[in-house]
Structure 1
Amino acid sequence: MSSEKIVAYTPPISPLTKPEPERYSIGVLTSGGDAPGMNCAIRSVVRESMARGCTCYFIKEGYFGLVTGLFEEATWSSVSNITNQGGSMIGSARCEEFKTKEGRKKATLNLFKHGVFHLIAIGGDGTLTGANILKEEWGTIVAELLASGAITAVQADAGKDLRIVGLVGSIDNDMIETDKSIGSDSALTRIVEAVDSIAATASSHQRTFVIEVMGRNCGYLALTSAMALEADYVFYPENPPNPDWPDVLCGRLEAMRKIGKRLNLVIICENCHDTTGNRIEAEAVKTQIELRLKYEVRTAHLGHLQRGGTPSFLDRLLGLRMGFEAVREILRSDIDSKADAKVLCLKGHAIVKCNMTSALNRTKRVAEVTRTGDYDIAAELRGRGFVCKQTFMKLISTPPVEDLSSTLKRLLIIHIGSPCAGMNSATMAFVRIAYYSHVSVYGVQGGWNGLKKKRFIDLTWASVTGWASQGGSALGVRKQLPTDLDEIAAAIDEKQVDGICIVGGFEAYMSAKILTENRTSFQAFNIPIVVVPASISNNVPGTCVALGSDTALNEICRQVDNIRQAAVGSHNKTMIIETMGGRCGYLTTLSALATGADGALIYQKPHDESEIRRLAQIAKQKTSTKSGEKYIMMRSEGASDIYTSADVKRLFDEELKATVACRLNILGYSQQGGSPSCFDRQMGARLGIRAFEGLFWPQKMGKRDCCVVGLRGRTIKFVPVSGLTEKVCTRHRVPLMLWWLDLHPLVEHLTYQNNEKA
């Protein structure tokens, strides 16, 4: 299927964006089930519409509001302070009347009354199907309204075209063509949080829990959460079990208990059947386990808990990007009257526009092939990532059936850098796939110093149980580079190591580089080496996203939300919030976008005293309004050598002249802690497995046997360390190419109106 890549955020974007030649009216609606992150999309739609000189209308209560005429003109301030709110601020509802031709005729007439011929629909496949039908019938309905006298010829000519762009907002993530839908990551966050809470009591009592999750006909939530939670078994539509599933399930759970696991966890999608079509309910699973194993079993139906709560960082950012691009796309001159409706999809880090009809048809095909028993095709339609997760889930959840009697290779795994979420998940997956391949894994405690002191531990399948949910580093991590290479080489020789996996940040990359550069001096280093990037700063070359950064961004969003809320009762308050990251402004930029902050000071965007004073004047202007607005400035700890966060506060105080209180908040090491996010858990497992594959089959790494294994676009790839030397600034510890830097102009663009704060 054809899709066209959208040029991502061409900088610079000025607050004084030139208005469109003609003032259009753009309508935005949310329909069907609500999803966290929708409000971020609405905010972007409204503000980008106004920045382009257009009028934006809220169409409240979804298609019900479209049919009944619930239109309200949006203002810049009407979407202030909503990024942390779940649900939909304009209401979302299903409407049976819109499914009829007469209902769509009413909707069309209401669009004419308000002059809205550009419509952005946010929702799942039902919402987008309704929008697509309206687009297809538009010409016929307009002719009928003209013939009946409901509209004039002038109106009919003005509204002869209806331009529609759809955004996928659904926690199920069941729309083909997009890697992620708005709301799906937040739903996974809720599932992981709930099961983490259940795990403590379940483990204490040696209980088995059967957790039912949403998903309708899509197993994305069930499969991804099962992988992140180290579930023992998972039921989902794309891979239904045979009728003898009770035997297989109970055998799996019994094997887990024998190796010492106290908690058994079964994840089941809400709409599951076996291969003969018999429905499988959570209660039926519970009954089979109780009858066959006599275990104490509890069920938990998470239900609408998965829809609620604060949006996760990823959903905030996705909603913001989608809403912004939707306005740009709907106003593009290449959309003519004959153009089909478009749906925006996320593929890797790029947003692409796809034909809505084709996307909907491919989505329907998944359900069709599932009903006919073509389950492999159903999984393939879900995408390569879905298929990989199926394979990875089997590798890390199936208990060993034999001892590691014959060892084919011996591998070493070591944590280097600063502790972060995802390190343990990568290690867990690495160890478990190694165990099945008859490979011994030695863990090194305490980094390179620990290796010199030969602080080895044997890592087995059972010993890494529960590691995925643990933050930090279970092996112990040190921010150091390898020294005394003769001692390190001796330790490697003693264990007859055949390959090294280094999990960590910039120091991990530099360590791999040092080892390879000294291969001529030390034969022990002539072995395959793979770096798994793990750093909250996301400054490791060779990958778009490093492990730990998602968890850190979620923690920053949570703290900024709390700081903003604490200031609600105070008048005239400005907040300066410092994040970690050193010279890399990744955390600062993306947290500013996700929280709706007013600015982001980073090293990549130089700023002097005059710029800081300009920002202080804007803060003064914004906080002096009667609406009680607050001003929040995010700043990276390494944004400037001249002006520290304390200096920025001092300059703000001088400009604010005691009329506005300025507070400095340094988030510090809290950004490194916390339970790993679902993204970091499952991505850690994926990277750990690929790292093992590179060490076990070095030919998979290509011509070089020392690589960084990282996420590049939509796929996980091996990138030779030797090829990264010219692509990184060693002095400042950042890659030279930063994909996220194009997003930085959006911070002010979606905050300023006519160079003033609304």
Structure 2
Amino acid sequence: MRKISQGLSHFLLNATNTEQFVKTAQFYKALGFQEILGQNDNAITSEKVWLKLHAEESSLTSDVTIKLVIDTSAVQREQPPQDVDWALHTSGMVLTVTDIDTIKGQLKEQGVLFQDQSSTSANDRIQLIELYALDPLNNMIVFANKPAFPSLLDKHDILSQGAPTAVKAASQPSPKRKKIAVLTSGGDAPGMNPAVRAVVRYGISKGCEVFAVYEGYQGLVDGGERIRKMDWKSVRGWLAVGGTTIGTARCMPFKKREGRLQAAQNLVSNGIDSLIVCGGDGSLTGADVFRSEWPGLINELKESGRITAEQANTYQHLTIVGLVGSIDNDMSSTDITIGAVTSLHRICESVDSIGTTALSHSRAFVVEVMGRHCGWLALMAGIATGADFVFIPERPPTSDDWESVMCSVAQRHRQLGKRKTVIIVAEGAIDRSLKPIKAEYIKDILSDRLGLDTRVTTLGHTQRGGSPAAFDRILATIQGVEAVEAVLRSTPDTPSPLIGMSNNHVTTGPLMKAVELTHDVAKAISEKDFARAMELRDPQFSEEFDAYSASTILDDHSMILPEHQQMRLAVIHVGAPAGGMNAATRTAVRYGLNRGHTMLGIYNGFPGLVRGSVEEMSWIKVDGWTSRGGSELGTNRAVPGESVDMGMVAYQLQQNNIQGLMIIGGFEAFTALRNLEEARDKYPSLCIPICHLPATVSNNVPGTDYSLGSDTSLNAITDACDSILQSARSSRRRVFVVEVQGGRSGYLAVEAGIATGANTIYIPEEGLSLARLQSDVRHLMALYLDDDADRSEGRIVLRNETVSKTYTTDVISSILKDEGHALFDSRTAVLGHLQQGNTPSPMDRIRATRLAMRCVCFLEKHALAVLDNAYRNGTPIPVELTKDVESAAVIGLSGNQVTHRSVPSLLPVTDLKNRKPKDAWWYEHRPLVDLLSGRGLFTKQAQELLSE
């Protein structure tokens, strides 16, 4: 058994074979656990299952979640001898119960051996429950009635009550509380405050004392009031605040040994031996140097009498953990850094605004963005805004006469009918001779050679400002939690870890290795090894650069296919509108035209196809579509074979000689793909390559981690909830029940719950009961009792639209209000279609560009063999191009990789009834919502009130 995020997320149980898997699942089901992620008819049919035991439906005092998987490489635990005291077992799962007789009955019914070591206190008033049992994997389970949730909100010391975890390892407690300090350093980045909030609250939940160091390393040197102990309320409201509330400052003294000596003394005097640093490579390098010198610094402090011998003995080692806060996204060993996505939001907002005035006056704009050694911001902004040309340090223009190349591109675009020209340049952009490329110089070139009325806009520090985007809030939160975990598992021999992201998962790797690789990028650029510089960036950086070039720059016939390989490809939108649909269509059309294909747009979905609403798309037709929300082609939920006649669909495909079909949409689009693939035997014109690019706010399409539109929706929900919270806060004691979309998937509610700091969430995967609502009322009462009388906070609860037909949004609000004993008021907010967003988020635009190009490549791949064969034999191109099952697929994202998943391969992992995948990678984030809101942590006042 391996513990994941102790007290936070879930237990991960590894069965070595199917028999063990089934027995273990049945064992926990007998104890009352329920499957919660889409298994049909409660049958165990997969190699992974989530099981949850709800407190209100058992004798437990808190929810418990288990993830059971088959792992053939797992090591089977040995069963401990029955004549040995099982209480001596080093680890186990502790379940806090109130009714031991019920548990005994369940165990006896299954024939499970157990040791009952319960006892009664000397005065016969208190029964101490302590029962030990083994599951089929020989994992120890301890049933006890010791308190598992002491108050985190209470100001009293909670150490004596035990670590506040609902599920915790039964190991010996530490003799002293861990003290952790967190600081932010270097340039500020949106998301630093959510990271600090996560460190503080999760650290407290682990029984640690957490300190914030104000003003970065300067505060570490100054000490005193700049090192402040934080409590649960200290970070209230920080999620939506940009920059860093605890401050950052340049600190020359810390660069010298005397400054680091003073910093060490200040940490020791506060009893701190662990430091979490959120900053760039310079800040993290300084932290690692500090750690390496620590033993010498401690020895010097002891010899000079500045600390005692006992202190020197106690604080022999310093633990350092790094979080990367950098808007440049310039750190190697991580796909993304805290603050980069929000900065991209600010840039795109500015460029979109500039675009309207450029269009009005037919002007050219040169926009300079940050990025001295990293072109991530410039490149992604270029993709997301449809800029005509981009200059980045890692990939200088290939031609020495880049000025002429740029002018040629701009002129071609103008000749095609474009009224504006936008060039984006990173501040560190260079040519192949390492000569800087400056915005003013570009402006002069455009003005002098093309006669364009050109302006320069340097965005400067606006790129750092504003409230963090949903992505950065979530990223910072889960990385902040992992940083605390890294502190707790660190040893003196462990290299300083860096918390990063790779393949959509939080990673932990050597900090200095990442710093070295980061410095290698600048070194490679200085040595003109630009290929190496691109390799050192995250894996998708190079592919996204190629996608941008292929769809925007290379419209000069350099990519065109031989005439016999040129196809007629169509794009259709299906389902509800989603941000990114238009961006994907634009890329597909322009890339397809650059390849020589005839690109067709089908208006108003499959009903439009049946009516013959098919139009040839031109390069200028899709100009400006990148930043447009909704669907310019028009979309609806009609699906061929169900509400649309399949024969008419096949007829129109043949009439328009469509040789490849790209479907952009949500679960309806997946259903359409499945129906079209199944009907191939009956209709030859359906035997063409067909791909589905997932686009839905619900993010419920199988075969992809993310669907287009889901990020836009999260930002729309986050912005709306920020406004709602402001209203609730102004009203002091008010709780808003906010209804969000998502169909039968809880993705939006879970991720938005983290991004907004929701008090709790209601999702279909867990369901909703009256007992759960009663528990939530008690939780809210506890929070409002703990609030200062004149400083109460507004709070929100997120409800998925389909979680319950009985407990509607209005009903939940009424229950909260009536059962809250006038401690708080309640209101509702149904966000509705505003969740589809207005302007697509930069992340959705970037994903759309990358995936759309891959879709066109996919359609080519599965048709070119037949086209080549017909050309060689001098025969007409057949209607039937392919019947290969792999030629009808979902083109999606798995981590940072683009994948092609055929319909037959996806059906076994799809819950067709509930219209979603059976797996849910995001569910591991679910417990964060409750934990970071303090759910289950009652104050003494609340306990007294609820017992009356």
TM category (shorter chain) comes to over 0.9
Match of 2:498? 343
Letter in 1 for 2:500: C
Equivalent residue runs for 1:359-758 within 5 Å: 359-398=514-553, 400-401=555-556, 406=563, 408-482=566-640, 483-624=644-785, 625=787, 626=789, 627-698=791-862, 704-752=886-934, 755-756=937-938
Q: In the alignment, is the contact (CA less than 8 A) between 2:784 and 2:823 conserved in 1?
A: no
Once the two structures are superposed, what CA deviation does each residue of 1:339-359 show, in whole Å capped at 9, x if it has no partner? 211101100211111111111
Residues 314 and 342 from structure 1, CA distance in 2 versus in 1: closer, same or farther, beyond 3 angstroms?
A: same
Where in structure 1 are there 5+ consecutive unaligned residues?
none
Q: C-alpha deviations, 1:420-473, integer Å up to 9, x for none?
A: 100011111111111122111111101110111111010122221111111011
Matched, 1:222 2:404: no
Residue identity in the other structure for 1:57? F
Q: For 2:458, which of 301, 307, 324 is the aligned residue? A: 301
Deviations 1:563-585 (A, max 9, x none): 11122221321110000112111
| Aligned counterparts of 1:159 and 1:449: Cα–Cα separation in 2 | 72
Question: Which amino acid is 2:699 matched to?
Answer: N
Q: Which moved more, 1:72-81 or 1:730-739?
A: 730-739
> Is residue 623–residue 631 contact of structure 1 (8 Å, CA) maintained in 2?
no
1:263-274 equivalences under 5 Å are 263-274=420-431
The superposition leaves residues 533-589 of structure 1 with CA deviations (integer Å, 9 ceiling, x where unpaired) of: 000000111101100000010010000000111222213211100001121111111
- Which residue of structure 2 aligns with residue 109 of structure 1? 265
Inter-partner Cα distance in structure 1 for 2:380 and 2:394? 13
Q: 5 Å matches for 1:38-53?
A: 38-53=192-207
TM-score, normalization by structure 1? 0.96
2:289 to 125, 129, 133: 133
Aligned AA (2:346): R
Distance 2:701 2:453 in 1: 46
**TM-superposition CA deviations, 1:353-412 (whole Å, max 9, x none):** 111111111110100010010001101111321111111111111263359994621112
Structure 2 letter corresponding to 1:604: E
Alpha-carbon separation, structure 2, partners of 1:657 and 1:148 = 61
| Structure 1 CA distance for aligned equivalents of residues 637 and 822 of structure 2 | 42
Unaligned runs of 5+ in 2: 12-63, 66-147, 150-163, 865-881, 943-948
1:57 aligns with 2:239: no
**Equivalent-residue separation in structure 2 for 1:362 and 1:6 (angstroms):** 29
Paired amino acid for 2:694: P
Secondary structure at the residue paired with 2:730? coil
Aligned to 2:190: 36
Q: Look up the SS of the partner of 2:738 in the other structure.
A: strand
Identify the range of structure 1 (543-552 vs 474-483) with the bigger mean alpha-carbon deviation: 474-483
Task: Specify the SS of the correspondent of 2:600.
Answer: strand
> C-alpha distance in 1, partners of 2:931/2:606?
46
User: Where does residue 277 of structure 1 map in the other structure?
Assistant: 434
Give CA deviations for 1:197-253 in whole Å, capped at 9, x if unaligned. 111111010000000000121000001110111111111101123442221111111
Do the aligned partners of residues 718 and 496 (structure 1) sit closer, same or farther apart at CA in structure 2, a change above 3 Å counting? same
Cα distance in 2 between the residues matched to 1:394 and 1:632: 44
Question: In the TM superposition, what is the alpha-carbon distance from 1:80 to its structure 2 partner?
Answer: 0.7
| Conserved? CA contact 1:579–1:635, under 8 Å | yes
The residue type paired with residue 891 of structure 2 is V
- Separation (CA, whole Å) in 1 of partners of 2:855 and 2:685: 19
Distance 1:524 1:754 in 2: 59
SS of equivalent to 1:496: coil
- Rounded to whole Å, the distance in 2 between the matches of 1:603 and 1:497 is 40
Counterparts in 2 of 1:117 and 1:518: CA distance versus 1, 3 Å? same
Whole-Å Cα distance in 2 between the matches of residues 686 and 742 of structure 1?
27
| Cα separation, 1, equivalents of 2:463 and 2:863 | 42
Three-state SS of the structure 2 residue aligned to 1:591 is helix
Aligned equivalents of 1:91, 1:535: Cα separation in 2: 39
Q: Would the aligned equivalents of 2:737 and 2:797 in 1 still touch at CA under 8 Å? A: yes
Q: 1:659 offset after TM fit, Å? A: 4.7
Query: How far apart are residue 620 of structure 1 and its match?
Result: 3.1
Higher mean alpha-carbon deviation, 390-399 vs 706-715, is at 390-399
Paired letter, 2:316: K
Summarize deviations over 1:255-282 as a string: whole Å, max 9, x none: 1110000110000001222222222211
Counterpart Cα distance in 2 of 1:338 and 1:243:
50
Q: Secondary structure at the match of 1:272?
A: coil
Cα distance between partner residues in 1 of 2:437 and 2:431: 7
Aligned length: 752
Q: State the alpha-carbon separation in 2 of the partners of residues 100 and 699 from structure 1.
A: 65
Equivalent residues of 2:416, 2:619 under 8 A apart: no
Deviation for aligned residue 1:654: 2.3
Q: Which residue of 2 aligns with 1:10?
A: 10
- Alignment match, 1:68: 222
TM-score normalised per structure 2: 0.77
Structure-1 separation of matches of 2:915 and 2:935: 36
Mapped partners of 2:738, 2:459: distance in 1: 35
Whether 2:469 is the aligned partner of 1:312: answer: yes
* Kept in 1: contact 2:744–2:915 (CA 8 A): yes
SS in 1 for 2:707: coil
- C-alpha separation in 1, matches of 2:938 and 2:581: 44
Query: How far apart are the structure 1 equivalents of 2:310 and 2:386?
Result: 63
Q: Distance in 1 between matches of 2:252 and 2:863?
A: 57
Shift of 1:38: 0.6
Where does 1:106-255 land on structure 2 (aligned, <5 Å)? 106-241=262-397, 242-255=399-412
Displacement of 1:320: 0.3
Amino acid at match of 1:551: T
The SS at the match of 2:855 is helix
- Return 50-59 or 141-150, whichever deviates more: 141-150
Structure 1 residues 641, 752: CA separation in 2 closer, same or farther (over 3 Å shift)?
same
* Cα distance in 1, alignment partners of residues 730 and 921 from structure 2: 38
| Conservation of the 8 A alpha-carbon contact between 1:574 and 1:663 | yes
1:60 partner letter: Y
Residue 753 of structure 1, CA deviation: 6.6
**Inter-CA distance 405–710: structure 2 relative to 1 (3 Å threshold):** closer
For residue 513 of structure 1, what is the amino acid of its counterpart?
R
Distance 1:460 1:534 in 2: 23
Moved more, 624-633 or 676-685: 624-633
